[in-house]
Chains A and B, each alone.
Chain A
Amino acid sequence: MMKFIKLLFRNQLAAVGAVILSIIVFLALITPFLPLQDPGATDLPNKFLPPFTEGHFLGTDHLGRDMLSRLFWGTRMSLWVGFVAAMIAATVGSAIGITSGYFGGRVDNIFMRFVDMLMAFPYILLAMAIVAALGPGLNNALIAVAVVNIPFFARNIRGITVGLAQREFVDAAKLAGMGHTRIILFELLPNVLPVIVIAMSTTIGWMILETAGLSFLGLGSQPPQADLGSMLGDARDDLFTDPHPSVIVGIAIFLIVMSINLLGDGVRDALDPRLRSGALSRPLPSTMVDRGGDIPTPTEDLLAIQNLETQFHVGNRIYRAVNDVTLTVKPGECLGVIGESGSGKSVTALSVMGLVASPPGVITGGAVRYEGNDLIGAPYEKLRQMRGDKVSYIFQDPLSTLHPLYRIGDQLAEAIQSHHPVSNAEARKRAIKLLKDVRIPNAESRIRNYPHEMSGGMRQRVGIAMALANEPEVIIADEPTTALDVTVQAQILALLDDLRRDRGLAIIFITHDFGVVAQLCDRVAVMYAGRIVEQGLTDEVLAHPAHPYTKRLIACVPELGEGRRVLAAIPGLPPIVSDLPPGCAFAPRCDKARPECSQGDIALEGAGSQTVRCLYPEEDIK
């Protein structure tokens, strides 16, 4: 609860709303005790006195009544009416919602049908029909507004109750012989109460406004009773000659509604966990760069990732997702990058073209060089021109990575047209060719499919076709086969292997499966906690894994025909920088760990092509 209030007040606007609203509510509560003039005392000779007149701080209205006093009493009335309406709507609506959700079946069906029908009305029509039946008057307007809001509560509360009604404590209560009424009152109600309160806090502003509106139309409070709405309605008659009563009352309504809105927004934000971490930030077109330290010197490689550091900045915390990673590929070569989820392998891959979601991602060091040119911190347009044209990506789950609302032909054509100014007809022709290249049958008709109309394997072929659209030099494949079954996986791997041989493509293949690496990759780099812990030729590493972690990964490769066995993933995000133990990050899980392992940085060492970051390697590779 304290945490909630803290969160609420971190939101400055919500705090402003809370303060304004508390002042208004406080003044409304103490109105009878304030030294105000009689709100009903008319004084016709002194009508329409302007504000700040002696004795009438806010002037007088068309009957010479003191505006300040009327404003206070009117506000009190409006707040009270809104509050009562909210209470009635909440009580009746929640009763319907709980009953409906708890009993389910027929009861639920009938209630919810009824609620649906009420919701088919634009709200004011329903309110007006009720007022028409009951006759104009503040109480009737109040009832009308309450009834109109019942469906909202009934719906929300029903939804929550349905979830709760299946939980063990309800079953337990039933077994213990508790009656329905008692279960509803003592087991369910306490659990849905917070939801009711929140729903009230977000609708009470509306209810105040709606009753004020009905009064404004002359359908609510009747003289001498006055709420803000009827005051505004009265003042409107003289709007053009003496606007100040209208303006004063209107602003009062505005302030009440605004403060409630602000507070309501704050409450909602504080309760929605997605907003807490700032996750609802829009990712920038390319990853933010805030590079410190030296920039490594250029190399001859086609693509070189050099001493790359990518971090996630969430609030005050820093997660070091990629920590000093260096990798290179040559044309026609396939490099495997292997590790568990959270090891930083995907973030490394996405960093290359600045595709790490940012915020929270920030590239803080190192370089990514394509043919020697550093891409980190390159202008957006330069990066965009390279994306998909020189370096392209294949992602894991093509159902979520292809746009669900575009035909695949259009998505392919777009990839081409983003880099080559070709006609639509030409783009279409090339799209068909691409589909044929990735061995999709009936390419001519397939281009008219939407992603959801294809199988997983076909979709991934589309993903590959899209990556090939502009004949790139490098393809970065981020777990492209993880979502597929074994046979389809084998087909896709064979396809990638052919493409590499035919076109001289360089492939960086991200995976958690050593079996895949063995089939496809010339070299392999093993990542753990954002670092490379072992690197070498695939055969070498497979035959003589030097790092204890590599050995365990290899042990995980499923035998043919057996299901997939996956090493227990490291829970949560990569280690927090402040929590990162000195020395080897694998030490807590390593059988061979000794105190020295956790003392200082361990270098990536080795004599030949194989290097390892371990004090007591499994194999002596020096």
Chain B
Amino acid sequence: MPLAHRLRHLHTDQPHLFLLALMMILALLSINPLTWLVLTISGVAMGAMLFLMASGMTLTFGLMGVLNLAHGAFISLGAFAGATVMTFWMADTAEHADLLVNLLAIVPAMLFAMVVAGMVGLVFEHLVIKPVYGDHLKQILVTVGGSIILMQLIEVVWGANDMPVPRPESLQGAFIVSDAVPLIGGIALEKFRLVAVVLGLAVYGLMLWIIDRTRIGILIRAGVESREMVEIQGYRIHWLFLGVFVAGSALAGLGGTMWGMYQEILSPHMGDEMMISVIVVIILGGLGSIRGCFYGAVLVGLINLYVGFLEPRLAAVATVGLMVGVLMWRPQGLIPVIKV
């Protein structure tokens, strides 16, 4: 059986692809194919947003062993900052239903969210993270404290009430695949999810390029292996870490903007509510691994949608179950980064 054979190979060499294939096949066996397709695309879209939210945290942990439990607050911050620009912009362009114009409206929103989250990240690293390098217990206490302060600041700036986010006209609704198309005719693909998938893939591609091909990327990978050796080579690991922390915060902000538009309603705690999923994603993928984070996010997105469809009450349990299962099988996560 060639398929079984191939699966067995995947099982050992590419555990992330194996798990992905296994999950999709199991779901396909229990859900009608058209529904399955819609769920799969939605799951990947959710995975893409989760990836944006989680990627900064995995790098921060991988590189410096810093556990930043305030990461969720940066997600919220990005959601609010992005929504502010959207609201402002939409006031002018609400009548334009043109996809291109609306896409142009999201771009400044995302950029603004990244700048705000990145700048707050810069200050946060200096005031909160730097004093507690190397001490996990203190990091947990201090970053939880920092997170509360950030959420309070969000309330001060944007008010204590939940805030609705305008989603551009042309990103509402769905593409309906014409009945004439064989096999998948008649299904509805929510536009916003497609945008999330494209954006997630683009950011993933860009990050892989930076990590794999650039000098900064080589330094980051080296730093994940051994901070001391990076310093011995003549590089200040702290500058590298600061850069990664700021970039990670900015990505959390970007993820937050997308997540906010997806939810269409914001609260200062929305990022914190995502932290369980974010932590599951980065542990599942292997701490410090960008590829692992991406596949972890897609797996969590998919299992949420599949199980949420089959038995909604079990969705959260399935997510944690997935992590526990993977850790029993691969204690270092799916794509481990070896620390020397």
A binds B: no
List residues of chain B with CB under 8 Å of any chain A CB. Answer: none
List residues of chain A with CB under 8 Å of any chain B CB. Answer: none
